[in-house]
Amino acid sequence: MTSGLESYDNTPSWERSYAARPSANVSADTLIRLVYPKLKFQAGAKYYYSNTGYLLAQRIVDARSASKSFDKELARIFASTGLKNTFYTSNMYPPSVAHRVVAGYYGNNDNGFEKFTGKDMTGYSLSWAQGAGAIVSTPQDLATWARALYQGTALLPEKQKRELMSLISIKTAKPLAQPTADDPAGFGLGVAERFDPQLGAFWFYQGETLGFRAAHLYFPKSDLVVCVFANSRPTEPNSKLQELFKTIDASIKAAGYHA
């Protein structure tokens, strides 16, 4: 997240396009071209969360993997990790998956999206997200994935695991050995580590689409995984996930299990 590329879904052109045609099947290349190759800042100068990098990674997998298919590579990884209820699409889910997805309600304040407020977003295309967030899953599968990701090397060889968990500071964009009270958050290759005075140090990630959020926390000292899914997407000041995480932690500690 230090490339300097704007996130394509932060642009007025994307907002207008999606609001006008939420069911459209838009290609990854079309989304990337909304911002690429113009930079917001010099690469490496600061941290800035950009979904464009995920789509570029998706296109690299399409070009260089043995299957020449991002979809097939994800399906292979899901199967090898033992995930039974995790699926990916670059557009619309087939009925066999779609009918199992709970309703997800939009409650944010993105420009031009007023007509979606309070509406169930599951009937619209996920082509706007693709490799940046078009996976559906369950809390149980996410917990399985988190354990496979952080424990051992069955999923990733040691070298790749070190690369995954090598952090840059969200505050300074400089390498960060581990988060502290003074520099509390670092981002790796799609995962993050945070220090919290109440929770201590933990790995986590929170992803969201229009109407949904999913988050996991992993506490290395206790080998505890916490997964939370929400079928709404409010503005950040109205989000209660951080409060929920702390309530869960307090309950665990009250039961005599220390994260």
Give yes or no for a contact between 185 and 179, defined as CB atoms under 8 angstroms apart.
yes
Torsion of CA 241, 243, 248, 250, to 10 degrees: 160
> Rounded to whole angstroms, how far apart are CA atoms 161 and 144?
17
Residue type, 254: A
**Residue with tokens 């979606």, as numbered in its chain:** 116
Each residue's pLDDT, cut to its tens digit, for the chain (259 residues) gives 999 999 999 999 999 999 999 999 999 999 999 999 999 999 999 999 999 999 999 999 999 999 999 999 999 999 999 999 999 999 999 999 999 999 999 999 888 999 999 999 999 999 999 999 999 999 999 999 999 999 988 999 999 999 999 999 999 999 999 999 999 999 999 999 999 887 889 999 999 999 999 999 999 988 889 999 999 988 878 888 778 877 877 787 777 665 5
> Rounded to whole angstroms, how far apart are CA atoms 12 and 18?
10
Which residues are within 8 A (CB) of 73 and not within 5 positions of it... i.e. 6 or more apart? 61, 65, 67
DSSP string, 38-78: -BSS-TTSS----THHHHHHHHHHHHHSTTS-HHHHHHHHH
Joined together, the tokens standing for residue 55 give 């789509």
> Rounded to whole angstroms, how far apart are CA atoms 252 and 201?
16
From the number of C-beta atoms within 10 Å of its C-beta (0-12, 13-18, 19+), residue 138 rates as middle
Joined together, the tokens standing for residue 120 give 């169930």
Q: Where are the domains of the chain?
A: 1-136, 150-259
> Rounded to whole angstroms, how far apart are CA atoms 161 and 153?
7
Which residues are within 8 A (CB) of 95 and not within 5 positions of it... i.e. 6 or more apart? none
**What CATH superfamily is the domain 1-136?**
DD-peptidase/beta-lactamase superfamily (3.40.710.10)
| Bond before 37 cis per omega within 30 degrees | yes
